[in-house]
Structure 1
Amino acid sequence: MFLVVGLGNPGKEYDGTRHNIGFEAIDCISKKYNIDVNRAKFKGVFGEGFINGCKVVLLKPTTYMNLSGESIREAINFYKLEKEEVIVIYDDISLEVGKLRIREKGSAGGHNGIKSIIANMSTDVFPRIKIGVGQPKGDLVSHVLGKFSKEEVQDLNEVIDASAKAVEIIIKDGTKEAMNELNGFKLSRIE
């Protein structure tokens, strides 16, 4: 069984922002595998279903980004999951828009949602899928809470699809296989 978590902030005002790319990835996975994410529990919204015959729980924490770990900890405790069974999808400013990076472990890299998860799980060892949202040209908060341009939105759809494929590979063949297949993923027009 796997818990697949997309990070973001609740509320319409955050829809389409860089920081909510994890929520968008969960929406994509939900649609692709026909898993309704509409039940409230674990300080979030979740749904249960199957990906390639494996039971999964899709979760969107509604704690706001900085407290995401509280939601994840509640779900882990309820389902009695191991850290390797938790996949986190989130935005990464160190990657340009249109890029994807998968890791088995690592530091928070300044990401407050990941800091909260590491603190609540007492480990930095869990699979993660980072979706590039580009470097800020000015204020970091304005950047991550800002909206994507029309051109960037087109690029993101392809990367979000790739993140759904990454989840599928991690569940079926493991994180290393997903890293081998998709790390370095970039849109055809990004060199």
Structure 2
Amino acid sequence: MKIIIGLGNYGKKYEGTWHNMGFATLEKLAEMLNVKFKTSECKSKTAIWHFNDEKIVLALPQTYMNLSGEAARELVGKYKATPEDVVVVYDDVDLPTGTLRLRAEGSGGTHNGMKNIVELLGTKNFKRVRLGIASDKGEIPLMNYVLSKVPKTSEAVVSEMTTRAAEAVKKYVETDDFELVMRLYNGEAKN
């Protein structure tokens, strides 16, 4: 059992924004796996992927970013999972655009959605895939920046980054070896 949670804000107005990198990654992963987000449960849209004998839940919380922990907690409870079964995919303004940083545990950092997940799961011991979004920030206030649309000049690097993140999650499920996946995918794109 694994629960893969992509963070973002639901609704058309947030599509294509920096803060929706988690949603974009899981949508790419679902496309790669030929599964659809068709179920609403645990304050999330979910898709189920079966790999060998393991059930993998892909989840897009529908709580808005800062309350993502509510969905994470409900998913863990419903599927009788542990926090160690969870992988959270999300944007990180502290990393350069195009950079992936996978970690087996850690704090919520400056990300309010992650802080809420840490608080409501009661632990920092869950895996995370951080997608860097910092390069174009400039002097724009943080909230305005993360809710702004990705500019055309960054679309190619963002597309490549979300594809790599989806591939990393898929590789983790297939190998059950997060250390290996960290070695393969951490860092900037290898063009």
TM over 0.5, yes or no? yes
| Aligned twin of 1:109 | 109
Please name the residue that 1:37 is paired with. 37
Alignment: residue pair count: 188
Residues 104 and 126, structure 1, Cα contact 8 Å, conserved in 2: yes
Q: Secondary structure at the match of 1:110?
A: coil
For residue 97 of structure 1, report the CA deviation from its aligned partner.
Answer: 1.1
1:1-33 deviation per Cα after TM superposition (whole angstroms, max 9, x unaligned): 111100000111000000011000110011000
CA distance in 1, matches of 2:51, 2:117: 24
2:160 paired residue number: 158
Within-5 A mapping of 1:53-72: 54-72=54-72
Which amino acid in structure 2 is aligned with residue 164 of structure 1? A
Counterpart Cα distance in 2 of 1:54 and 1:165: 18
For structure 2, the 5+ residue unaligned runs are none
Query: Displacement of 1:53 after TM fit?
Result: 5.7
* Structure 1 runs, 4 residues or longer, greater than 6 Å off: none
* Superposed CA RMSD: 1.3
Alignment of 1:108-187 (within 5 A): 108-134=108-134, 136-137=137-138, 138-171=140-173, 172-186=175-189
CA distance in 1, matches of 2:185, 2:111: 22
* Match in the other structure for 1:5: 5
Return 5+ residue gaps in structure 1 as ranges.
none
- Distance of 2:190 and 2:178 partners within structure 1: 21
What TM-score do the two structures reach when normalised by structure 1?
Answer: 0.94
Task: Return the alpha-carbon distance in structure 1 between the equivalents of residues 22 and 101 of structure 2.
Answer: 13
- Measure, in 1, the Cα distance between the counterparts of 2:53 and 2:33: 11
Cα gap change, 1:52 to 1:162, in 2 (>3 Å):
farther
144-153 or 46-55: which moved more? 46-55
Q: Describe the SS at the equivalent of 2:110.
A: coil
Per-residue Cα deviation, 1:118-167 (whole angstroms, up to 9, x for no partner) = 01110011110001111532200110001111121111111111111111
CA positional deviation for 1:50 = 2.3
Query: What CA deviation, in whole Å up to 9, does each residue of 1:80-136 have, x standing for no partner?
Result: 112121110000001111111100111111100000100111001111000111153
Residue in 1 aligned with 2:97?
A: 97
Q: For residue 81 of structure 1, give the secondary structure of its aligned residue in structure 2.
A: coil
CA distance in 1, matches of 2:134, 2:107: 19
The question of whether the paired residues in 1 share the 8 Å contact of 2:9 and 2:63 is answered with yes
Inter-CA distance 18–35: structure 2 relative to 1 (3 Å threshold): same
Distance in 2 (CA, whole Å) between partners of 1:88 and 1:51 is 19
TM-score, normalised relative to structure 2: 0.94
Query: Percent identity over the alignment?
Result: 37
